[in-house]
Amino acid sequence: MKVIRSPKEFQHRMRLLRRRGSSIGFVPTMGALHEGHLRLVRRACAENDTVVVSIFVNPTQFGPGEDYKKYPRRMRDDLKKLRREKVDYVFEPTASAMVPKKSSHPVRWETSREFHRLAGVLCGKYRPGHFRGVAAIVAKLFYLAQPHRVYFGAKDYQQTAIVRRLISDLDLDIAFRLVPTVREGDGLAMSSRNAYLSPAERARALSLSRVLFVLRREIRAGRRGIAVLRQDAISTLRRRVDRLQYLEIVDAETLRPVSRRGRKCVALAACYVGQTRLIDNVIIPG
Ligand code: AMP
């Protein structure tokens, strides 16, 4: 497994591989790898000749006062895990190599991808600029890696909608692979941020997935309307977590709120438990 830090060298290597006819599967991450990330890596290994994982805590997707500084960084551990999975390349650039102006806030891009609606709803309402930062770095990583296939987790559903849109708007020749959310035995969605939770908070955090599972079951059963079910879920969750930011039921593609069951939809929520912001979602087939 080769670890590359320089964007230019990385781009050069990837270009050579492509020329030799090797298919490239790419998994972008922010490190502190857990089983959720590894599921993406395994899928990439099964479908490609060469597997590339990037580890980069993207400063441009964190807002002021968010956890950029304290975000867990476990490079040694991460490399060990990736070696075990037989990953071929790890791209681990520095912030100054990836963003125009070091890692300070606000980072200014002269060139950026703007999203007119997708990035302003759900998490975008509470994290202004977040998806602009995600899209800028994801686009840059795609240009550098020149992958045939990219792997993203359903855990960050809004991000997947945005990356898909980026690929289709720019006609990038990249196949998008959505990998289902990997959960702990009790249902909590795996996340690098779960490490922030105390045992008592960990227990309360469980209500997020529980409420979403109930909601999915009820929507599928179709006995009660979506608006009523949503209100019930909101009331339950409000009692159990510290701050509920949103709970919405939206069309799986457009992310517009739905009021009736029809096309595939997604129920998503974001809340705080203590100081930790958690997100989760469930996909409900049409
Ligand atoms: P992150 O390191 O949090 O930026 O995540 C990197 C990739 O792993 C993203 O595509 C995430 O959606 C995905 N991911 C993170 N947690 C999970 C999980 N529990 N299940 C599936 N994919 C995940």
Q: What is the 3-state secondary structure (H, E, C) of the chain?
A: CEEECCHHHHHHHHHHHHHCCCCEEEEEECCCCCHHHHHHHHHHHHHCCEEEEEECCCHHHCCCCCCCCCCCCCHHHHHHHHHHCCCCEEECCCHHHHCCCCCCCCCCCCCCCCCCCCCCCCHHHHCCCHHHHHHHHHHHHHHHHCCCEEEEEHHHHHHHHHHHHHHHHCCCCCEEEEECCCECCCCCECCHHHHHCCHHHHHHHHHHHHHHHHHHHHHHHCCCCHHHHHHHHHHHHHHHCCEEEEEEEEECCCCCECCCCCCCEEEEEEEEECCEEEEEEEEECC
Query: For 2-179, which CATH class?
Result: alpha beta
Which of 26, 29, 38 has most ligand 1 atoms within 8 Å of CB, for mutation? 29
Rounded distance between C-alpha atoms, residue 27 and residue 190, angstroms: 17
Q: Does residue 36 line the site of ligand 1, with CB under 6 A?
A: yes
CATH homologous superfamily of 192-278 equals: Pantoate-beta-alanine ligase, C-terminal domain (3.30.1300.10)
Q: Whose CA is nearest to atom 13 of ligand 1?
A: 153
Measured from the CA of 31, which atom of ligand 1 is nearest?
2
**Cα angle value 259/177/42 (rounded, 5°):** 130
Given this model, what pLDDT does residue 208 score?
98
Rounded distance between C-alpha atoms, residue 227 and residue 125, angstroms: 21
Given this model, what pLDDT does residue 76 score?
98
> Sign of dihedral through CA atoms 95, 97, 102, 108?
negative
Q: Does residue 155 line the site of ligand 1, with CB under 6 A?
A: yes
Given this model, what pLDDT does residue 100 score?
72
Domains of the chain, by residue range, sit at 2-179, 192-278
Given this model, what pLDDT does residue 246 score?
98
Given this model, what pLDDT does residue 103 score?
46
Given this model, what pLDDT does residue 109 score?
65
Given this model, what pLDDT does residue 92 score?
98
Picking from 56, 1, 58, the residue whose alpha carbon sits closest to that of residue 27 is 56
Positions in the chain short of pLDDT 50: 102-103
Q: Does residue 30 line the site of ligand 1, with CB under 6 A?
A: yes
Given this model, what pLDDT does residue 238 score?
97
Helix axes 226-240, 199-221, angle to 10 degrees: 170
Model-level pTM?
0.96
Q: Does residue 153 line the site of ligand 1, with CB under 6 A?
A: yes
207 pairs with which residues across the strands?
none
Measured CA to CA in angstroms, residue 231 lies from 71, 249, 279 at distances of 33, 11, 18
276-284/265-273 β-pairing: antiparallel
Q: What is the pLDDT of residues 50-84, one digit of tens each?
A: 999 999 999 999 999 999 999 999 999 999 999 99
Question: To which residue do tokens 């476990």 refer?
Answer: 74
